[in-house]
Amino acid sequence: MIKPHGSDTLRPLYVADEAKRASLLKEAETLPKLLVCSQAAANAVMLGSGYFNPLAGYMNLQDSLAVAEKMKTTAGLFWPVPIVNVVADASALRGAKRIALLDPNVDGNPVLAIQDVTSIDEASDAQMKTMAEKIFRTTDMGHPGVKNFLSVGKFFVAGPIQVLNYSYFASEFPETFRTAGQIREMIQKNGWNQVVAFQTRNPMHRAHEELVRMAMDRVGADGAVIHMLLGKLKAGDIPADIRDASIRKMVELYFPPNTVEITGYGYDMLYAGPREAVLHAVFRQNMGATHLIVGRDHAGVGSYYGPFDAQEIFHKEVPPGALEIKIFEADHTAYSKAVGKVIMMREAPAGHKKEDFVLLSGTKVREMLSMGQDLPPEFARPEVARILMSYYQSLPKEAAG
C-alpha cells in the first residue's frame, strides 16, 4: 500500500486508549480553556484522524509563513497550506504551557483536544495579507476562504495536540465519517491496490459518476473512494446529509457492488483552489489512495482561479517526488447528444458543438428542482434528482431561488 506522506506509518493524533483519554479529560478541567474557531477545530479533527500526517499539531508563525511562501515548513516538510490555531486575543494564554481546546461546533463546547503551547506569535497585517495572497491568490474579502482566514485573529498559538474526539462528525455521520486509518483498513480488506479518490462538496450528477468510471478504467483501479467534505461550506451549498443520501443512492443503483466506498472527512472548505487541491492530494495519500481526480475548477469559488489552475500547480509548483499519489487530470465532463454518452469536452470528436452537450447552470438546476421540474436524465439520475428536489422544495422560496 502507498505510504503516508512524510512517514512510513500513519501517526494519527487521536488518543485511542480509553483510560488515557479519560485521564486527559480530567486534566482538562484544571487547564486554561480556549474556544477555538471552526477552522482550528476542523484542523484538530484532521490531525486526530491521521489525514494531516505527519504533523504533530498546529504550526507556528514561522512555519505558516514558510508554507504559504514555499509550500515547505522551516524543517523542509512539503506542505501546501498552514495548519494553524489562530485567535484574536491570546492574553489569557500568556504563560500557559498546556491548554484545553473547546469545540465551537458542539453544544456545551466540550473539550476537543489538549495542546502543549510552544509559542504564541502575533502576525503583522502585512504578514497576514501575504499569507492570504499566497494561499488563496487573492486578498479580496469577498472570497469566503480569505474572509475566514483574515477575520479570526492574528495570534498563532502553536504546539502539538492530543485529540480527544472527532467533534460532531462521528456522531452526525456515523455511516460516512471515517479516519484515514479506517480507510486504509477498508482498502486493505477489499484487496484493492490501485485506488481512485474522488473529492466532492456537492451532490454527484451523471458527469461526476462517469468521471469516476473513466478514472478507474484509465488507471486500472480496483476501486474508488468517494470522499466527501462533511464540514462547513459557504451559504447556499447543499448540506452534507443531503449530499450523502444522494451519493449513496447513485452508488447503490449504478455501480457494481464492492467497487466504490462512500466516506467523508471532518473539515471546513477553504475554497483555496490550487493550494487546496494539493492539500487534498496530501490527505488522500494518507488515507491510502494511489490516484486523486482533479477536475475543472477543483476546490474553487467564483472566478478567482483559472479552470485548470488546480492541475497546473502539480506541474509548476509541487516538487518532483514530494508526493507519491498521482493526479488524474479531468476536463469538464457532460453528456453528449451527438455521441450518446458522457464524455470529457476535450475528447469530443471533430465537429462537435457546445450545443451537443447537455449543460445546466447551478442556478438553473436549483430553479428547476425548487419548482418540482425533473432534470434531464442525461444530466442527473432521476433517483438522485428526487432527493435533491425534496430538499429544495423544503426551503423557503427566497433560499431555494
**Buried-state track 304-339, b at ≥16 Cβ within 10 A, e below 16:** bbeebbbbebbeeebeeebbebbbbbbbbbbbbeee
For residue 205, which of 399, 327, 368 has the smallest C-alpha distance? 368
Contact of 5 with 83, CB cutoff 8 Å: no
Separation between Cα atoms, residue 89 and residue 91, nearest integer Å: 6
Active-site position among 21, 109, 202, 296: 202
Residue 263 forms beta bridges with which residues? 227
Q: Which three cell numbers stand for residue 260?
A: 466504490
Active-site position among 137, 178, 184, 201: 201
User: Which residues, in sequence order, are CB contacts of 6 under 8 Å at separation 6+?
Assistant: 53, 54, 77, 78
User: Which residues, in sequence order, are CB contacts of 278 under 8 Å at separation 6+?
Assistant: 71, 80, 81, 313, 314, 317, 318
Instruction: Note the Cα 319 to chain centre separation in Å.
Output: 22
Separation between Cα atoms, residue 74 and residue 66, nearest integer Å: 6
Separation between Cα atoms, residue 342 and residue 210, nearest integer Å: 7
Q: Which three cell numbers stand for residue 377?
A: 436524465
Give CA angle at 192 (190, 193), nearest 5°. 155
Contact of 87 with 96, CB cutoff 8 Å: no
Active-site residue, 202 included: yes
For residue 277, which of 250, 257, 296 has the smallest C-alpha distance? 296
Question: What CA–CA distances, in Å, run from 379 to 40, 162, 316?
Answer: 37, 45, 34
Active-site residue, 11 included: no
Question: Could you list the active site residues?
Answer: 201-202
